Amino acid sequence: MQERFEFTRLCMGVQTRIVTHAPTRSAAAAGAARAFERIAALEQAMSDYRPDSELSALCARADAGDHDWQEVSPDLFRALALSQTLARHTGGAFSATIGPAVRLWREARRSGTLPDEPSRAAAVRLSDWRLLEIDRESRRVRLREPGMRLDLGGIGKGYAAQAALESLIDDGLTRSLVALGGDIAAGEPPPGAEGWRVALRPGLGQLLLSGGAVSTSGDEEQHVEIGGRRYSHIVDPRTGLGVVGGPWVTVVASRAEYADALATACAVLGLDEAETLVLDAGAAAVFVERGTDGRTVTTTIDPRGLLRWHAPARRGTVPGTTPRVP
């Protein structure tokens, strides 16, 4: 007989929730504690806020003029390598080198004014994904210029959610779910259920998730209006500015780091360009965009039928959505 247990903790700046089904509270608590420890270790490796993190140390070396190859931990290397692969596929719309552009845009959001052109151009140049070099055989990386800042905000939480779930599974807690803000990794469903219910935006219903991941990216709660235009907190590294009129995107994928990175990339690319990316990745997505009349338009990209809905509508789509099937 398994019971449901839930544990919460602040991790990576967001409320983090672990739900698991276990025979005893002690087994659930021990597994959750190890999963939280795994997240904490990843935060120490990947954080761009902590000056003593492994990621920050890489940038500090580059600033000091050290542009030699540096060996990094397996987790940091995997996150950077995956980021570089996605950067290549998106033409730089997703980039782990986005740090300079993110810093500049944070200041713009605080001040309510757009960056001046020289500052924006400098941030874009230093945010070019090609300035980060990866040696996959030796697990080493190199930052080619001083002033570069790595930022794994578009993949780090998904990576941590997946790692925490795998820690729980290793402890025999296969019926578990880990949620770091909008990044969710799910194992086997709860006893007697078809899947974990994941609530989306109001009016879009609930997804059923089992052995997969879901991530949401958008500017619903974090945006700024400058000069009469609405800008997202999500930054396009190719422009150094927040995405204008960005969509709200939910991606379902096999792993949480994939879902996290894809959702970020899709929010930058927009529906038309993101469709090929989602299909090539074997994922599915729900886009919510604002029309010119202020109303929202919802579109699903799911030719493989990966999106499963609790009490699904006819043909498996959300009421009011437009399916896009090539």
Q: What are phi and psi of 266, to 5 degrees?
A: -65, -40
Tokens describing residue 220 = 């619903």
Distance CA 278, CA 299 (A): 13
Per-residue pLDDT of 103-149, as tens digits, reads 999 999 999 999 999 999 999 999 999 999 999 999 999 999 999 99
Confidence of residue 310 (pLDDT cuts 50, 70, 90): confident
What CATH number should be reported for the domain whose range is 196-324? 3.10.520.10
Lowest mean pLDDT among 29-43, 160-174, 210-224: 210-224
* Burial (CB count within 10 angstroms: exposed 0-12, middle 13-18, buried 19+), residue 247: buried
* Domain boundaries along the sequence of the chain: 196-324
**Cβ atoms 84, 55 nearer than 8 A:** no
pLDDT at 325: 37
What's the mean per-residue pLDDT of the chain?
90
Of all residues in the chain, what percent carry a pLDDT higher than 90?
78
The CA-CA-CA angle for residues 106, 88, 219, to 5°, reads 35
Residue matched to tokens 């194992």: 187
**Closest by alpha carbon to 182, among 241, 287, 259?**
259
